[in-house]
Structure 1
């Protein structure tokens, strides 16, 4: 019996609507077209008031804890963040500081970012990839970077970006397939089905 994969996206966008969230949803939808999965989007901008000032995970409210557990139990992660001063947002890093350091080992992670111009496109490889290497994830081969001009009304519209996102997902599918084979259905999941 095959269960849907748990696909979780984390958007570091601080506003709503957010281009980072829109890009995350676009990437999740592309993956869902290819793989049976349950989707969940974690918008850090919505959690900001609950994360502020927290130093220990035990001090976080239950709503934030549920999102942390969802990320830790995900089969596939999509992470997006706006570029802020050449890197990911502080809130994005603060959230991932609460993730257990061994919880993401070997999980496929699709890296994505949004920025005002192409100047920050290498942020994916210079900032995001090292962060997720620390967690020993399988960062997927292609990252997806989008600029403000790639969106219309917070929807992905630029054809080159649409093609790059599709290529990133296609290149990710073999690694996602490995995840499917590595995550057998548990007895609890059989009973729940």
Structure 2
């Protein structure tokens, strides 16, 4: 890989400190061991007051619009949310409503979530994965879910969760080391036009 992978890490947590922030940061840290990366963090807790009242992309504050543009141009996304009422946060969805619906086609995404107990673990497959399927993204097969008991003072304390992070990153590497599928799609267009 000649240049660093452009990674955007999004945490849907609304409070600080946050287990979701800690989980997303741990995933990015593990990824940085395997690949040269350039990371931009987007923490909803930092932008919530300015984001909540915006209803049009053209009305986004400059710094939030810059986050949206970074997501749209990313090579890889790490996306996590805490679970509220069985789903991701409303502000998390509101934020992604501003992302252009065609900008994430074929973008690989590693999904993560945190919740109070194991009973919310399916949020990754039943809530997050359908959202990014709408964007036609490549949601990676292994997500990472952590519960309250996996953290002490907002740091991961569970070897099983750390192992899950390592497994998810290792399984992501083949997707990240291959040529960018979005560029490959552009190269295939002249061929498809001949059919």
Q: What's the TM-score once normalised by structure 2's chain length? A: 0.91
Give the deviation of 1:121 after TM superposition: 0.2
Given that 1:20 and 1:81 are in contact with CA atoms closer than 8 Å, whether structure 2 keeps it comes out as yes
Rounded Cα–Cα distance in structure 1 between residues aligned with 2:97 and 2:121: 24
Q: How many residues align?
A: 184
SS at 2:129's partner residue? helix
Please, which moves more after superposition, 85-94 or 169-178? 169-178
SS at 2:9's partner residue? strand
SS at 1:133's partner residue? helix
Give the deviation of 1:117 after TM superposition: 0.3
Aligned residue in 2 for 1:81: 81
Aligned residue in 1 for 2:158: 158
Unaligned runs of 5+ residues in structure 2 are 185-195
Rounded Cα–Cα distance in structure 2 between residues aligned with 1:137 and 1:179: 16
| 1:147-183 Cα shifts (integer Å, max 9, x gaps) | 0110111111100000011001111111111255866
Matched, 1:4 2:4: yes
Please, which moves more after superposition, 31-40 or 81-90? 31-40
In the TM superposition, 1:101-180 aligns within 5 A as: 101-179=101-179
Runs of 4+ in structure 1 deviating by more than 4 angstroms, as ranges, are 179-184
SS at 1:24's partner residue? helix
> Cα–Cα, structure 1 residues 31 and 49, in superposed 2: closer, same or farther, change >3 Å?
same
Matched, 1:71 2:81: no
RMSD: 1.5
| 1:77-112 Cα shifts (integer Å, max 9, x gaps) | 000000000000001000000000011111110000
> Cα–Cα, structure 1 residues 179 and 91, in superposed 2: closer, same or farther, change >3 Å?
farther
Rounded Cα–Cα distance in structure 2 between residues aligned with 1:63 and 1:182: 26
| 1:52-90 Cα shifts (integer Å, max 9, x gaps) | 111101011101001111111111100000000000000
Rounded Cα–Cα distance in structure 2 between residues aligned with 1:84 and 1:178: 36
Given that 2:105 and 2:182 are in contact with CA atoms closer than 8 Å, whether structure 1 keeps it comes out as no
SS at 1:142's partner residue? coil
Q: What's the TM-score once normalised by structure 1's chain length? A: 0.92
Aligned residue in 2 for 1:19: 19
